[in-house]
Amino acid sequence: MKAGSWATMVRQLAAGGKLGRARGAAAGAEQLSNEQASSGQIGRQAESLKAWLQGISRMDMTWVTDRIAVGGGIWRAENMAAVARAGVTHIIDMQIEFDDTALAEPHGIEVLWNPIDDDFQPKPPAILQRGVDFATEALDQDGTRVFIHCAAGVHRAPMMTLAVLCSMGWAQEAAQELIEKRRPVVDFADVYVRSVERFLDQQVRAGK
């Protein structure tokens, strides 16, 4: 089965709350990853599904700075409670698979659902601008902490985190190194890095 098919299956199972079957799907992804690890996109998508499996029953969150965390999907009320206990006040949810808003509401956490697919296609600057604007407004307030996540915290969330850090004044290379050092599972796919670079170029042209 192709990696894209696994991703679709996991998305459907997660949306339906069928975690047992989802674990089976991710186990298949692990086999796929072992067999196809050298085949670029297929191997990377399978690795994402493995990371998703690891985070489905516990909260997978890595602090990149003292106020910005990056990680995998929340999915369950218990995990959202753990996010709240960590002091998170704002969430940027990059998943197309799941909207956190209802889970976050009881904790008073603000959510930006900014969904994109992990399809290794260029991402429009508007998507990154939306996340950066939300993060900037959140971090301008005292005592706030932002959690940026996707399904596995491997591709989309690190891309968004890179855009946020660079918009805060970090050099791109230094920001990438920081994210990778704090969260080694991160995979900065070239197409996503180029998407961030196009967004940053647009910001420069706009005088931001």
pLDDT tens-digit series, residues 134-154: 999 999 999 999 999 999 999
CA 48 to CA 46: how far, in whole Å? Answer: 5
User: What ranges make up the beta strands (E) of 96-168?
Assistant: 110-116, 146-149
Query: Do the Cβ atoms of 48 and 42 come closer than 8 Å?
Result: no
pLDDT score, position 22: 46
Structure tokens at 21: 């079957």
Q: Quick check: 29 pLDDT over 50?
A: no
pLDDT score, position 77: 94
Q: Average of pLDDT values for 143-169?
A: 97
Candidate from 19-28, 143-152, 156-165, 175-184 with smallest mean pLDDT:
19-28
What percent of the chain shows pLDDT beyond 90?
68
CA 159 to CA 163: how far, in whole Å? Answer: 6
